[in-house]
Structure 1
Amino acid sequence: MKERELQKYLRKCRLLPVEPGPVVAGFRCAAVIPACDELEEIGNTLASLAPGADDMVLLVVNHPADAPSRVKAASGELLRLLASGAFSCRNLFWIDAPDLTGGVGEARKLGMDAVIASCHAEQAERVILASLDADTVAEPDYFDAVRGCFERNPAASALSIPFSHRPGATPEEERAIRSYEAYLERYVDRLRRAGSPYAFLTVGSAFAVRAAAYVRAGGMRVRKGGEDFYFLQAAAKTGRVVTGDRVLVHPSPRPSDRVPFGTGPAVRKLMAGEAPAEISDAAFAFLGRLLARAAGPGGLEEAELFLDQIDSCSADFLRQEGFLLIWPKVLANTPDRRDARLAAFHGWFDGLKTLRYLHRIDRFCGNGIPSVAGKKRI
């Protein structure tokens, strides 16, 4: 990474003081952990981590401006415990970040940006930012295993880390969390079989990214929920997201409504008898045919021709997404090679578009296979 690229990114960042002192260059892996009202869980999380001399842990102690007084008091107590050395975790740093408006996404960004600010440009390809949560327990070799995954995948920009939630507090909670895990795995597995490059899990407590890839992806998204999904989607557009080979983290299974969507709300709904909306196998079959056509010879050389070669439901979706207007502009800025055109298509037809596409196909076309969309060219 070039120094000017790094500095351009940092000029846009809000950098808060780090305690007990500034992060210094030289750490190889930094685990960034937002902590909001987590006094009961944070001790177990920190006790599970065993950072080496080249690893660090950075807590971002935060709460929203409108948080109840109890939550603000919990932030104050955690800061007091950190300052007193109550936790034995090695290379432990923290940021006091009260009154956040951007939720957990902003907290993650503050922590990751603080690590980025300590990096020299030539280090950025080697430094790893790992994302954890304050209610997540890690395997003892977490840091070694994360670094090892990147060493075995030198072309990877980011890593989706396999996880298994801790046992539920009740039989109902246990059934709900295992049902939700199976739901997520089914979705990713069917994306993989369809040929999507976005076939990876996106959970905030279970991913890591190279510092350089983090900067190139534009940094963590400032959102109250879904920041992990949107960030890893961006990372997949600028590099490759791989999935680790074994479970390394164990998030909490507890139901929650602290974020608008994700594990906590899903578990709460499952325990109330509301199952997540499944997407049909037929919709994924449509996706597989669409992506295969895009990867085929000549498929993406011209927008109209591509729409003529796919089914009418898929063609209608792409038209509504502005494909006919956008694709000629994309081609004008893309090398004249099939692999470059396909990469550009996946950059446009990203993880979010894929999800919207699947829902639309499921709603309107899931019971059959429409004919090819357009008239054949002579």
Structure 2
Amino acid sequence: MWVKYFTQKGFSPKIDVNPSVNLGICVVIPCYNEPSLIESLGSIAGCNLPACDVEVIVVVNHPEGVHYDVLENSNKAVKDIDEANRLWGCERLRFHAVKAFNLPRKQAGVGYARQIGMDEAAFRLLTVGTKQGIIACFDADSQCMPNYLAELYELWMQYPKTHACSVRFEHPLSGDEFPAEIYKGITAYELHLRYYNQASRFIGFPFAYHTVGSSMACSAEAYVKFGGMNRHQAGEDFYFLQKIIPHGHFRELNTTCVYPSPRPSNRVPFGTGRAMSKLVYSREPISTYHLESFLNLEPLFQNVTTLYNYSGNQIERFIELLAYPLSDFLFQVDAARAIENVKSNASSAKTFKKRFFLWFDAFMLLKYMNFAAERYYGRQPVEEQSKSLLACMGYKPLQTLRTRDLLLFYREMESVEWSAKL
């Protein structure tokens, strides 16, 4: 299967050094115009090494026609990788530079860079027969705990059927690297991410997981099986993991942590960097979706199997009785016909429910949330909505908490929750 994948893609390896027969983890880092790559490489080099060999594959990339300063940073990044090998490289840990200069401007971006690196990683792991070898995604401005590599290895040793995982992440909330407003903004933005995740779980959505590009990993076998990384210029992590998550064998690794940078960026149309950029340059505060948008979904998600026994008019009547923002959305996406189609391909209520959520997946959920925000509720202050969710969950004494303390509570809540799953 994996040979076919690389043949169809016209893949040719970019690294001319044969992989070690003991290679078990490849950390892939897209690097575009990064002045401080060496610090992230040093963070990985400071990790305790697992029982397998590790390679760090850095895809140094930039689009065609870039300014001279960007080209200089690309050349500096390649030198940083050489320096990392000199400082920390050994038989069990190697750093590789993959030059992806002058990429077509329409395709250039973080998705394409990750794809180049992850294809290379999968090829190297599968070449030495390590189907459950780990492809870990990292960023050129991130840091990690010293047990990062060892815990990834241990996860796959303990659960060898794992397709992919999300790794616990925490943005820095203070420091002297950025202005205070950046730390304040990233606190609100991370709270938005955790609020969205927890609200999705609260209403019974089965695919509620974090999809952060700098803190995810997959097996080489699963990478090929599910079609590899996409070339989206933003949201590539979300699109990639949502191909895998609905098929099961997805886990959350909470025994280590990645620390992504909160820095502003205009490279992508949405995501952490863009949110920080809007905060700094446009003074646009961090907002989120109204809790009612989520709560409207609960009667639908809790009664999915009921729909298996309904037909045409009954399905439409069921939709009509839902909260108007949701029913309006469902009629616009022709949900009744979609549900009938799901039903025609299901032999039991259990199969129907599984197939229903393959239709009403994370993409459909996000589409609905944006629809509800644009047509009905607007975007709301994240502190207010995260408190409302906690109240619904029974944590009413926490109403006096401010943004930072709310985030810390959400972090702790997810930490306990993830640990319980493991």
Range of TM-score over shorter length = 0.7 to 0.9
Q: In the alignment, is residue 7 of structure 1 matched against residue 3 of structure 2?
A: yes
1:13 and 1:48 map into 2 onto residues whose CA distance is 33
Residues 40 and 142, structure 2, Cα contact 8 Å, conserved in 1: yes
Question: Cα offset for 1:346?
Answer: 1.2
Residues 282 and 362, structure 1, Cα contact 8 Å, conserved in 2: no
1:141 and 1:116 map into 2 onto residues whose CA distance is 23
In structure 2, the CA distance between the partners of 1:330 and 1:275, relative to structure 1 (3 Å rule), is same
One-letter identity of the residue aligned with 1:321: V
Residues 293 and 299, structure 1, Cα contact 8 Å, conserved in 2: no
Query: Paired residue for 1:129?
Result: 135
Post-superposition Cα deviations, 1:228-251, rounded to whole Å, max 9, x if no partner, equal 111111111333433222451111
Q: In the alignment, is residue 357 of structure 1 matched against residue 365 of structure 2?
A: no
Query: Paired residue for 1:159?
Result: 165
Residues 27 and 135, structure 2, Cα contact 8 Å, conserved in 1: yes
Residues 164 and 251, structure 1, Cα contact 8 Å, conserved in 2: yes
Question: Cα offset for 1:148?
Answer: 2.7
Q: In the alignment, is residue 280 of structure 1 matched against residue 290 of structure 2?
A: yes
Query: Paired residue for 1:323?
Result: 335
The more displaced of 160-169 and 83-92 is 83-92
Query: Paired residue for 1:253?
Result: 262
2:340 and 2:111 map into 1 onto residues whose CA distance is 34
Question: Cα offset for 1:150?
Answer: 3.7
Query: Paired residue for 2:88?
Result: 88
Candidates 11, 19, 25, aligned match of 1:23: 19
The more displaced of 30-39 and 45-54 is 45-54
Query: Paired residue for 2:115?
Result: 109
Q: In the alignment, is residue 215 of structure 1 matched against residue 224 of structure 2?
A: yes
Question: Cα offset for 1:358?
Answer: 2.2
Matches within 5 A, 1:309-320: 309-310=318-319, 311=322, 313-320=325-332
Query: Paired residue for 2:63?
Result: 64
Residues 81 and 87, structure 1, Cα contact 8 Å, conserved in 2: no
The more displaced of 209-218 and 314-323 is 314-323
One-letter identity of the residue aligned with 2:329: F
Question: Cα offset for 1:364?
Answer: 4.8
In structure 2, the CA distance between the partners of 1:258 and 1:138, relative to structure 1 (3 Å rule), is same
Query: Paired residue for 2:30?
Result: 34
Q: TM-score, normalised by structure 1?
A: 0.86
1:122 and 1:293 map into 2 onto residues whose CA distance is 48
Q: In the alignment, is residue 45 of structure 1 matched against residue 40 of structure 2?
A: yes
Question: Cα offset for 1:23?
Answer: 3.4
In structure 2, the CA distance between the partners of 1:261 and 1:313, relative to structure 1 (3 Å rule), is closer
Q: In the alignment, is residue 244 of structure 1 matched against residue 253 of structure 2?
A: yes
Q: TM-score, normalised by structure 2?
A: 0.77
1:81 and 1:244 map into 2 onto residues whose CA distance is 29
2:257 and 2:238 map into 1 onto residues whose CA distance is 19
- SS, match of residue 96 in structure 2: strand
One-letter identity of the residue aligned with 2:139: D
Higher helix share: 2
In structure 2, the CA distance between the partners of 1:301 and 1:243, relative to structure 1 (3 Å rule), is farther
Identity of aligned residues (%): 29
2:222 and 2:146 map into 1 onto residues whose CA distance is 26
Residues 158 and 207, structure 1, Cα contact 8 Å, conserved in 2: yes
Matches within 5 A, 1:161-310: 161-166=167-172, 167=174, 169-271=178-280, 272-294=282-304, 296-299=305-308, 302=311, 304-310=313-319
Query: Paired residue for 2:150?
Result: 144
Query: Paired residue for 1:79?
Result: 78
In structure 2, the CA distance between the partners of 1:26 and 1:322, relative to structure 1 (3 Å rule), is farther
Query: Aligned pairs, how many?
Result: 360
Question: Cα offset for 1:172?
Answer: 1.1
1:146 and 1:317 map into 2 onto residues whose CA distance is 40
In structure 2, the CA distance between the partners of 1:137 and 1:315, relative to structure 1 (3 Å rule), is same
One-letter identity of the residue aligned with 2:333: E
- Unpaired segments ≥5 residues, structure 2: 379-422
